[in-house]
Chain A
Amino acid sequence: MQRPIQAIYHGSVKSKLLILTSLFLLLVLLTLYAVSQGAVEVALPELLAILSGRASDEMTAYIVYEIRLPRMVMSIITGVSLACAGAIMQAILRNPLADPFTLGVSSGAAFGAALAIVAGTSVFGINLVSSGQWMIALNAFVFGCLAVGAVYGIAKLKNSSTTVLLLAGVAIGQLFSAGVSGLKFFSNNEALKDLVVWLMGGFWGAKWQVLHILLPLVIISLVLLLKYAWDLNSLCAGEDVARTLGVNVKQVRWVCLLLVTLMASVTIAFTGIIGFIGLVAPHISRIIIGTDYRFLLPCSCLMGALLLLLSDTAARMVLSPIEIPVGIITALFGAPFFVYLLLKKRKDYWA
């Protein structure tokens, strides 16, 4: 006779694994669907033929491999990255409203990108075309990390409590936002338009080159973060108790913040600022799979990938061939969902 506790535990593990598997399958199906949609319709049999290397039409195969597929993978990876970062931030800051951008990384990255777009012409000459994307990305990454570094530095002076972290994040965020406004003010129409579009985020022109950087980075960060799952679980019980359970709170916080900043700023660097995924995906995941980070983290990643892939496909298809920036779609469903969360108040998240 199995003791009830064992049955309960293994039963819950089984159902959680089932959820993860289902989400994964859903993601695969959604990817196939998304790849078949676009200005050029690709029917399923043709799609499968292309993916297995037996293409009939070279042009369609080219479109699938060079235009659509990188885009799909990009949105999946970005979704994974943002959701993972969001879940970790919510654990570290012990605040359900935290998202990957809470500590100012998005403002910093936006400022870096704005700087590159608006002032880059004076450094590289009027022809921004050749150096464009990589310079913007590099600058966004550097300034994103700088912003979080500043926040963490300030917090350390004051004993690194989560409240100080949050407040410093707000302050530094405001500082860089002001910088962006300043740049907007001094720029001309064209540069401004580029900046506005960049800020809205998107996967246009996704390249495999970028993915060769992004993929390993995100996957490695994810694996490292998973190792901290039990530490993160312990943090839920409060920092004091976590310490007595053997968690090195300072180290966990430091490492996790570093990895989250890395993931968030690299993502922003290439795809602009896409909001709500990092906030919403962990929340939905928590509702369906619980708070155990061993499962919550993979679930958030899958959920983030699904949501973002869905949003990007909608962004492409709704007004085809015109594309809506994906950030608008995520805000459109993210905001009402957020309000719903506040109202529903399930299981007293807000204490």
Chain B
Amino acid sequence: MYMQVKDLSIKYGTKMILKQIQMNLQKGEVASIIGPNGAGKTTLLKSMASIIPVERARIWIKDRDIRSYSANELAKTLGYVPQHTAFGYPLTVLETVLLGRKPYMQWNVTAHDLEVAGAIMERLQLAEMAQRYMDELSGGERQKVLIARALAQEPEILLLDEPTSALDIRHQLEVLELVRQLALQQQVLVVLIMHDLELAARYSDRVFLLQQGQIYASGRPEEVFTSANMEQVYGVKVEIGQGSSGLKLTATLPESR
């Protein structure tokens, strides 16, 4: 068990956002979190990233309570990719990626830091854009830079919040191929929040279906993507078939009574 969520409940004021979530995640797997809007997906991911503080003994990484990790230790273990770039003063692509090396840097950027950053940028085909500013890039390119930043942390766990929602089809596939490679070759645990169910089905080893703060179903894609589950959680009728590359889902609205 590489990363565990045990009995996690999160309240905001009087409202329960998450109720007794249980998750067991393995090294090198790709896990998707899906569910309708407001189900609590982002809250869950942020708790796992320790952005939202959690109680003791709720989240475990490598058999250690996440709270026992120092901020720097955690930063070297876990990388987080937000949905959007924050508004702020524009950095160049290289500067953004180098930020990911922060847990390793005192003041200077060492040759090793540059090596790591350089390699990642090559791999994601960002090298030619090194000196361009973030706001000059397209959405897809920007997303890749954010991923590169997280990768520069050399994490063992990668958490991504809807990494494909704003991308065109080509970039979507590129990103998902990339994370699959990472999981396979480098044994990185990848957890993604996905909107696109087909892509989620195609690229995930496991899927967690969230509804109103609880895990409605979890398991391999074909176990979770059933007509019954889809109707129950999303409120649509879904026909599930087999496409050449994976599951094919066709959704229609239910007849109005």
- Complex CA distance for A78 and B96, rounded to whole angstroms: 33
Within 8 A of A (CB), among B71-113: 71-72, 74-76, 78-80, 82, 85-92, 94-96, 98-100, 102-103, 105, 107, 109, 111
Q: Mark B133-146, 1 if CB is under 8 A from A, else 0.
A: 10100000000000
Chain A contact residues: over half helix, strand or loop, or mixed?
helix
- Complex CA distance for A121 and B46, rounded to whole angstroms: 58
Contact between chains at A8 and B131 (CB < 8 Å): yes
Contact between chains at B46 and A291 (CB < 8 Å): no
Find the A residue at minimum CB distance from B87. A351
- Complex CA distance for A291 and B90, rounded to whole angstroms: 7
Shortest distance between the CB of B252 and any CB in chain A (Å): 37
Given A248-B71, A291-B95, A236:B89 Cβ within 8 A:
yes
Given A234-B99, A243-B50, A245-B100, A8:B130 Cβ within 8 A:
yes
Find the B residue at minimum CB distance from A13. B109
Find the B residue at minimum CB distance from A90. B89
Contact between chains at B74 and A5 (CB < 8 Å): no
* B89 proximity list for chain A (CB < 8 A): 96, 236, 286, 291, 349
Contact between chains at A240 and B99 (CB < 8 Å): no
Q: Does B201 contact A (CB under 8 A)?
A: no
* A58 proximity list for chain B (CB < 8 A): none
Can you name 14 A-B pairs with beta carbons within 8 Å? A4-B118, A4-B127, A4-B130, A8-B130, A94-B88, A237-B99, A238-B86, A241-B82, A243-B71, A244-B79, A246-B75, A290-B95, A291-B90, A349-B90
Q: Which residue numbers of B lie inside 8 Å of A, CB to CB? A: 46, 49-51, 71-72, 74-76, 78-80, 82, 85-92, 94-96, 98-100, 102-103, 105, 107, 109, 111, 114-115, 117-118, 121, 127, 130-131, 133, 135, 149, 153
Q: Which residue numbers of A lie inside 8 Å of B, CB to CB? A: 3-6, 8-9, 12, 94, 96, 229-230, 233-234, 236-238, 240-241, 243-248, 286, 290-292, 294, 347-349, 351
